[in-house]
Amino acid sequence: MLLLLLKSRYRASVLKTLKTAQERSVAFWALGMERETFFSGADTFRLKFKIDIPETSQEQSEPFRVTTFKAPDRALHEILPNYIPCGSAAPSVKRFDPRKAPCLQPLAAFTNAAHQCVVQNERLMHLHFVIAKDLTLMCVAWQHVVLDAPALKLIVAEWECLLAKDIHTHDPDSHRPEIEGPKDRPNLDILISTLQTNPPSSLPGWTAVTLWVGLKLKLLSKIYSLRYPRTFGTAYLPPKLVAGLVTRVRSNAGQGVVLSRNDIVASWFYKATCEIYQPRTATTLSRAVNLRDKHALISPSVSGNVLGLAVMPSVQSGALQHASLEDLALATRRSIEKFKNPDYVSKFLGFRMNYGNAGRIAIPEVRLSNQRCLITSFVNLRLSNPNLGKRVSVERPVQLTMAPVVIRVIDDARGGWSIHGHLPHAAWDALERNMEREMEDLDAKS
C-alpha cells in the first residue's frame, strides 16, 4: 500500500484529474493486462482464479474501487496515527493498527485473502483519499497477487504523465503522444507457458509443507505470538541516521565491496529487531527481489507480480548480535546474487508455479522455530517522490501494510526511511533504543 500526501491547495485539480484518468481507464493502460489474465505462478494460493481488470464502461467507470474520508477541520496527524511530519530530524516509532484507524476503514476489505475478494466479486485494487485540513492523503492499495511495487510504478507513471501535461485543456495545437494501450505492454503469458512445460518438483533451499509440518508451524506461531505479542507500527529513520549507517558500513567493508543502502539498512533493522530473542533462537532475513530484466521473458515493464524471495542463511540471535553490520549486509547481498542467473530465475518461478497450481505450499528450508524477518522494499523505484506536475506538490510518502507478515520499507526524497510492519512490542522497543543509540553516536562524532 502506497500513500502520498498532497498539499491542500492542489487538492481539487488532483481529484478532478484522477477522475478523468479513471474515465480514460488509466490503470488498465498502466497495468497492460488482457481482460482475463491468469496469475497462478508467483504466489502460492490454494485456489486458481482469474483476475479481471475491466475496461471503462457505462456500468463500471473505473478499474479501481474509489472511496473518500473527509475531515476538513482536523490536521492529518490527528487522524492518521503513523504520520510523521515532513522534515523531521529525530527518529521515531509509532505503534498503531491501520485496521482500526477510522480514516482507513474503507480499506478493511484488503485484510481478506485475494481469493475471498474474487469470490465476493470485490475489486482487487483500491484508490482511497483522506482529505484533512492541511493535507490530502492519496492511498493506492492492492492485493499482492495483482501487482507488486514495480507494477504500481506503471500506474503512478501514467498519473505523472496525465497530471503533468494538463489533460484539462483542449488545445488543438497540443500534440500529446498517445498512451500505449494494454496490447502494447509485455505480459507473462509466454513465460507462464514456458514454465508449465517442465516445472521442477523441487528447489534447493526450499521444502514442501506437509500437513504435519503445517500443524507444527501453526502451533509454534501461536506459542511465539503469546510469548512476543505483536502490534502494527511505523519507524522513521531520519536522513542523518541512514547516511551515518551507510557511510560507516561502506568504510568498514573496504574498497571493491559493493553494498547498497538497501542492503545496509535492511541488515541493521534485522539485527536491531532480533536482539529480543534468546541467544540460541534461529533467525533469518528474507528480502523480496524484483525479477524484471533478470530473465529474457520478463521485461522491465511487465505488469503483474514478478517477485522472487532471497533467503539469507539462518543465524542464531546471539551470533547475530556479535556479527558486524558489514558482514550481515554482505550475506544478504549474496542471497540476492543468485537471481542474476536466468536459469535460477526460471527454476524458482517454475517451482513456485508448480506448487501453487497443485494447491501446495513451500517454505525456505530452515528450522520451523526460525524467526523470519521478511522485507519488501520500494527503494529505487521513485515511488517516494513522484513528479505530478507544477500544480501538485507531493509532501512525503507514508508506508503501511495490513498484512501481518511483510515489513515494508520506503525512502523519501530527503533520504529518510520509513519502515512499517507487524512486530513484537519488544522489537519496537529495541528498534527505538537502537535508533537513539545510533543518533547519540553520530552527534558525538559531529
Percent of the chain with pLDDT over 70: 68
User: What is the DSSP annotation of 418-431?
Assistant: EEEEEEEHHHHHHH
Q: Is the pLDDT of residue 395 over 80?
A: no
Better-predicted residue by pLDDT, 256 or 62:
256
Q: Is the pLDDT of residue 55 over 60?
A: no
Q: Is the pLDDT of residue 177 over 60?
A: no
Which region, left, alpha or beta, applies to residue 326 given φ > 0 means left and ψ of -120 to 50 means alpha? alpha
CB 260 within 8 A of CB 289: no
CB 31 within 8 A of CB 23: no
Give the pLDDT mean for 374-389: 68
Give the HSE-up count for residue 345: Cα atoms under 13 Å, Cβ half-sphere.
Answer: 21
Q: Which three cell numbers stand for residue 47?
A: 485456489
Q: Which three cell numbers stand for residue 59?
A: 456500468
Q: Is the pLDDT of residue 78 over 70?
A: yes
Q: Answer yes or no: same fold for 2-83+97-171+180-193 and 208-445.
A: yes
Q: Give the model's pLDDT for residue 299.
A: 83
Better-predicted residue by pLDDT, 112 or 262:
262
Q: Which of 128-132, 149-153, 258-262, 318-322 has the lowest mean pLDDT?
A: 149-153
Give the pLDDT mean for 228-248: 92
Give, in degrees to the nearest 5, the angle at Cα 25 between 20 and 31.
Answer: 130
Tell me if residue 202 falls in helix, strand or coil.
coil
Give the pLDDT mean for 312-331: 94
Better-predicted residue by pLDDT, 272 or 119:
272
Q: Give the model's pLDDT for residue 305.
A: 76
Of the candidates 365, 87, 409, 328, the one whose C-alpha atom is nearest the C-alpha of residue 209 is 365
Q: Give the model's pLDDT for residue 328.
A: 95
Over residues 412-429, the pLDDT tens digits come to 667 788 888 889 999 999
CATH code of domain 208-445:
3.30.559.10
Q: Which of 51-65, 208-222, 324-338, 364-378 has the lowest mean pLDDT?
A: 51-65
State the pairing for strand pair 417-424/407-411: antiparallel
Q: Give the model's pLDDT for residue 290.
A: 87
Percent of the chain with pLDDT over 90: 23
Q: Give the model's pLDDT for residue 442.
A: 93
Q: Which of 89-93, 232-236, 284-288, 397-401 has the lowest mean pLDDT?
A: 397-401
What's the pTM value of the predicted model, to 2 decimals? 0.79
Over residues 347-366, the pLDDT tens digits come to 998 888 888 777 778 888 87
Q: Which fold has domain 2-83+97-171+180-193?
A: Chloramphenicol Acetyltransferase (3.30.559)
CA distances to 152, 174, 202, 405 from 362, in Å: 27, 53, 9, 16
User: What's the mean per-residue pLDDT of the chain?
Assistant: 75
**Long-range contact list for 213-218, CB < 8 A, 24+ apart?**
213/368, 214/361, 216/368, 217/363, 217/368
Q: Give the model's pLDDT for residue 114.
A: 63
Q: Give the model's pLDDT for residue 267.
A: 94
- Element (H or E) spanning 435, and its range? helix 425-445
> How far apart, in whole angstroms, are the C-alpha atoms of residue 405 and residue 423?
9
| Backbone CA torsion sign across 177, 182, 188, 193 | negative
CA distances to 13, 142, 362 from 147, in Å: 27, 7, 21
- Element (H or E) spanning 155, and its range? helix 149-164
CA distances to 25, 243, 259, 377 from 432, in Å: 44, 18, 25, 20
Give the pLDDT mean for 328-356: 90
Of the candidates 386, 412, 388, the one whose C-alpha atom is nearest the C-alpha of residue 398 is 412
Q: Where are the domains of the chain?
A: 2-83+97-171+180-193, 208-445
Q: Give the model's pLDDT for residue 323.
A: 95
CB 311 within 8 A of CB 327: no
> How far apart, in whole angstroms, are the C-alpha atoms of residue 171 and residue 404?
49
Q: Give the model's pLDDT for residue 166.
A: 56
Over residues 15-24, the pLDDT tens digits come to 444 444 443 4
> How far apart, in whole angstroms, are the C-alpha atoms of residue 248 and residue 251?
5
Q: Which three cell numbers stand for residue 288?
A: 523480496
Please name the residues in contact with 72: beta carbons below 8 A apart, sequence gap of 6 or more.
131, 132, 133
Better-predicted residue by pLDDT, 219 or 393:
219
Q: Which of 46-55, 120-129, 216-225, 330-339 has the lowest mean pLDDT?
A: 46-55
Q: Is the pLDDT of residue 179 over 60?
A: no
Q: Which three cell numbers stand for residue 38?
A: 491468469
Q: Give the model's pLDDT for residue 118.
A: 64
Helix ranges (H only) for 200-341 are 211-227, 239-253, 261-273, 317-322, 325-337
Q: Give the model's pLDDT for residue 397.
A: 62
Q: Give the model's pLDDT for residue 368.
A: 75
Q: Which of 45-59, 153-167, 400-414, 419-433 has the lowest mean pLDDT?
A: 45-59
